[in-house]
Structures are given as C-alpha cells and as structure tokens.
Amino acid sequence: MSSGRAGRQGDPGSSQFFISTEDDLARIFGGDRLKRIMETLGVGEDDVIENRFVSNAIGQAQSRIEGHNFDIRKYVLEYDDVMNKHREAIYRLRKDVLSLDNNKEKIIGYLNGQIDNLVAFHAQGQEYEWNIEEISESIKALSGLELHSELIEISKSKDPFKLVEFIKEKISALYEAKEKELGTESMKQLEKLVLLRTVDELWMGHIDAMEYLRDSVRLRAYGQRDPLVEYKTEGHKMFQQLTGAIEAEVANLIFKVGFVNQPKKIDLKESRPNIVSGEETAIERESQSRQGQPAESEIKIGRNDPCPCGATHSDGRPKKYKHCHGR
C-alpha cells in the first residue's frame, strides 16, 4: 500500500497495485521467497494473491530497488559534478576571451610559459650540459626565429635566466612586428579566433576522453578502489593536461596564422576577352554595314550554320552559330 489521493479534504487516501510473480521486481528481488510462500499456501498460478506476507515481501523488494536506484542517481550526480566544474572553467575562459578587447597579454603569457618550460627542461643548471640545439630548433618551430648563434653565446654564462629573458625579448619584438603588420584591430580579431578555435577543439576531445574514463574506472572496483575517487583524481589530471595543451597550441599557432587578402572582384562583362582578332568582329561589321536597311532585308542565320565571326575548331572546322555567338 502507498499513499494515494482522496476526494475529501483531510483524507490522504490510499492506492493499491498488483504485480505478477514473473515481474522483474518480484522475480529478481523476492522471487525465491514468494515461491516458498505460494507453495506453503497452495496458491494456483492464476489465483489472485491477497496476503500480508506476500505484500510485505513485495514491499521489501520495492524498497531495495528504490534504494539501489537512489544510489545510482547519487553517483551519476557526483560524476556529473566533476564535468560541471571542468565545463564552468572552460566557459569562464571563453567568456574572458570574448569580453576582453585585447587578448595580447594572455597570449604573451602563454608564449612566456612555453619558453620557461623549454629552457627549464633543456638547461638544467650548471652541472648539466645544455641542449642549445634543441632549444634553438624549438624556438624556430614556434616562431620562425633563428637564434642558434646568440643562444650559444649566452649559454656560456651558464645562467638560464639570461637565456629566458633573451628569448622572451625576441618573441615579444616579433609579436609587436606582427601586430604592426596586420594592424591593431586585425590582430585583436586574430587573437580571439585562435583562442576560441583552440579551446573549442580541445574541449570536445576532453569530453570524449572523460566519457571513456568514466566507463573504464568502473572496472577498478574489482581492485578494491572507489571508482568515483579514481574518476575525480584522473579527471583532475586530465583537465590540467587540457589547460596546458590549450596554452601550447595557442602559442604554436599565433605566429603561423593570419588573414588572407581577398582578391578584387572582377567584372566579367568588362574583362571578357575578344575571341576574334581585329578591332571589330564580323558581326559588328555586318551590322554596321546594314544600318539604314529595313529589318525585312536582314539575313537570318540558322543555328547549325557556320558562325559569321569565322571562329573555327582546333582541327579547322568552322564553329556552328549555336555553339558560338548563338548561345
């Protein structure tokens, strides 16, 4: 029995429902117990069972499945909460990009971050040999700048900070030159386009990766590990990788993209070439020679007749009027 609805004020009412013993609720959660009760009472297959023991068994089965479904919904919400936090951070980034008039400082920060990571990895203190070759190649791939000889000279001091500052100055000067070449307004548009497209593309990949992670962590329960905790931990690492990938991709693209100048529209009527040599076509000469004559005396040209302009095919055959000026 469960609460229902009555027609009188103050009466909560009641409702009653009936299920088959073959129903999933009865079969999975209380099947064996129901069968024993029915065998004890001697109930036939088609008889209606109205017994409090059976009702209690069904009620307990219903409580168990409702509790199970509640746990599922609770875990779904907790899983979704992880992605919601990622989504809020990405949407906040997109909103900042769209609202800011100038994203130059943000992109310069991304470039500087890539330089810091590059030098820190390949120039680790005085006791290790610096890989200037790899640094110069990476800077060339990033910006197109050839700095190998300068970096060799600076590396003699074994001061990584000097190396970092020198590279940052060169990158900053290159950025200013690109902005001057494109114009301030065009550069602002380019910055937004690069940022938004990079964020959107990598974010879509992150959604797929998190969905795959959500399916795979369930198997870790067999190793006595909480799938939700594993999902949160791995998801945090993956989001950190996402933000790092966004910064690296933006830094890698900003010097490689630009606006293509649209070609000037050509007036086809004005630029149509004269396919017949000479200042006037034969038709024009003919029409001029016939000026002043009555219209009835004009010669009609058939569609399959040779064109009066004298145009011919590559093999010397004259072109038909319908394939030339009669089109």
Per-residue pLDDT of the chain (327 residues; tens, 9 = 90+): 444 455 666 676 666 666 666 676 666 655 666 667 667 766 666 666 666 666 676 677 777 767 666 665 667 788 889 999 999 999 999 999 999 989 999 999 999 999 999 999 998 766 678 899 999 999 999 999 999 999 999 988 888 899 999 999 999 999 999 999 999 999 999 999 999 999 999 999 999 999 999 888 877 777 788 888 899 999 999 999 999 999 999 999 999 988 776 444 444 344 444 444 444 444 455 555 545 554 444 456 666 677 777 677 666 667 777 777 776
In a domain, residue 153? The reply is yes
Same domain, 63 and 208: no
Look at residue 201 and tell me if it is in a domain.
Answer: yes
CA distance 262 to 39: 87
- Structural domain contains residue 204: yes
Residue for token pair 């548009």: 189
Same domain flag for 165 and 131: yes
Q: Where would I find the beta strands (DSSP E) of the chain?
A: 2-3, 14-15
182 plus 281 within the same structural domain: no
Conformational region of residue 316, where left means phi above 0, alpha means psi within -120 to 50, and beta covers everything else? left
Q: Is the pTM of this model over 0.75?
A: no
Report how many domains make up the chain: 3
Cβ pair 110, 251 in contact under 8 A? yes
Instruction: Tell whether 91 is covered by a domain.
Output: no
Per DSSP, 306 falls in state B
Residues in the chain: 327
Instruction: Clarify whether residues 104 and 249 are in a common domain.
Output: yes
Nearest to 139 by CA among 178, 158, 160, 166: 166
Determine the structural domain holding residue 324 and report its residue range. 268-289+301-327
Same domain for 21 and 124? no
